[in-house]
């Protein structure tokens, strides 16, 4: 058993698969292997620790599941109506999979940089993702919004190509442009 916390065997199996995936040669191969592992393990009965499934009343919750070599596994809990602004992943690849409930994922393409703090996005696609559905984001194509539009709590599992301690969020301006701001991230 790993010393950082006591885990169910299904979590240990997932971590072993993530370790193997993280050792692959390039981001595309890593993301494909991580995505496959998440979909199969969640579909096969992955049991996340109950303490990582608690929502927060002040915004979505971020709980660290595991720090691996070259990646971090984070559980996010989304109460009804909770979501993110448009954001990036600070140069890290990311694979996200729904563990419980349903989320909306809206992907964006950065179409214009006005100056170092002002950009323009185009909405590319919107997906309603349910349990076991996964997607990968590899920079520079990593701008998106995640929202829980349902009345029930949703839980997602995010695997990042490193520990993401901050990111850029994009605040809408009146003229269709967005202001880039730095946000620090922590754990709930």
- Confidence at 185, pLDDT banded by 50, 70, 90: very high
CA 7, 136, 90: angle at the middle one, nearest 5?
Answer: 90
Domains, the chain, ranges and CATH?
A: 9-184 (2.60.120.10)
Average pLDDT across the chain, whole number? 94
Strand 94-100 and strand 102-115: the pairing is unpaired
Q: What is the mean pLDDT of residues 4-22?
A: 88
pLDDT single digits (tens) 26-68: 999 999 999 999 999 999 999 999 999 999 989 999 999 999 9
Instruction: Return the H-helix or E-strand segment holding 16.
Output: helix 9-22
Burial class, 153, CB count within 10 angstroms (exposed 0-12 / middle 13-18 / buried 19+) = middle
């Amino acid at each position: 058993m790993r010393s950082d916390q006591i885990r169910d065997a299904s979590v240990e199996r997932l971590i072993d698969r993530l370790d193997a995936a993280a050792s692959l040669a390039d981001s595309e191969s890593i993301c494909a292997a991580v995505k496959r592992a998440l979909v199969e393990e969640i579909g096969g009965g992955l049991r996340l620790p109950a303490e990582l499934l608690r929502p927060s009343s002040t915004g979505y919750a971020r709980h660290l599941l595991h720090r691996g070599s070259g990646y971090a596994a984070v559980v996010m809990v989304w109460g009804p109506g909770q979501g993110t602004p448009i954001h990036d992943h600070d140069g890290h690849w990311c694979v996200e999979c729904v563990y419980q409930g349903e989320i909306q994922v809206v992907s964006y393409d950065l179409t214009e940089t006005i100056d170092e703090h002002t950009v323009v996005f185009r909405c590319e696609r919107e997906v309603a993702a349910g349990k076991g559905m996964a997607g990968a984001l590899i920079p520079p194509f990593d701008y998106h919004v995640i929202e829980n539009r349902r009345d029930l709590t949703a839980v997602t599992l995010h695997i990042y190509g490193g520990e993401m301690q901050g990111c850029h969020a994009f605040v809408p301006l009146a003229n269709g442009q967005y202001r880039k701001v730095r946000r620090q991230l922590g754990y709930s």
